[in-house]
Structure 1
């Protein structure tokens, strides 16, 4: 039969996978992870998180930036 909850879970999973493939960070997942696994530590704001992920992906802040051209 048709299981709406399973369809929602699958859609959520596919959405996260697609965002990861194009390098779009998932702030909500990060916040949940921090709350569940590191409740004693502060977590980054959305802006800090986004900058952190961009720097990690493209080498921001390093002495020799990664460039394609």
Structure 2
């Protein structure tokens, strides 16, 4: 029972993050390891910085 609650929580957390535009680091790492075996994945911090820059630009706002 505890495992199913834990799995449900992870699914809910992942879904909520995607809904608000926060990328999932664990999914990224799994993708890099399975599709690019010779490449080391970015650190968690590098990943989020790169994703936020890709989404919002480098030092500029998309608004106005």
Please, which runs of 5 or more residues in structure 2 have no aligned partner?
A: none
Aligned residues: 63
* Partner of residue 63 from structure 2, selected from 53, 63, 68: 68
CA deviation after TM superposition for structure 1 residue 32, in Å = 1.1
Aligned twin of 1:13: 11
Q: Does 1:54 align with 2:49?
A: no
Give the number of the structure whose alpha-carbon radius of gyration is greater.
1
Please, which runs of 5 or more residues in structure 1 have no aligned partner?
A: none
CA deviation after TM superposition for structure 1 residue 20, in Å = 1.1
More helix by share: 2
- Structure 1 runs (4+) deviating above 6 angstroms are none
Q: C-alpha separation between the residues in 1 aligned to 2:26 and 2:20?
A: 17
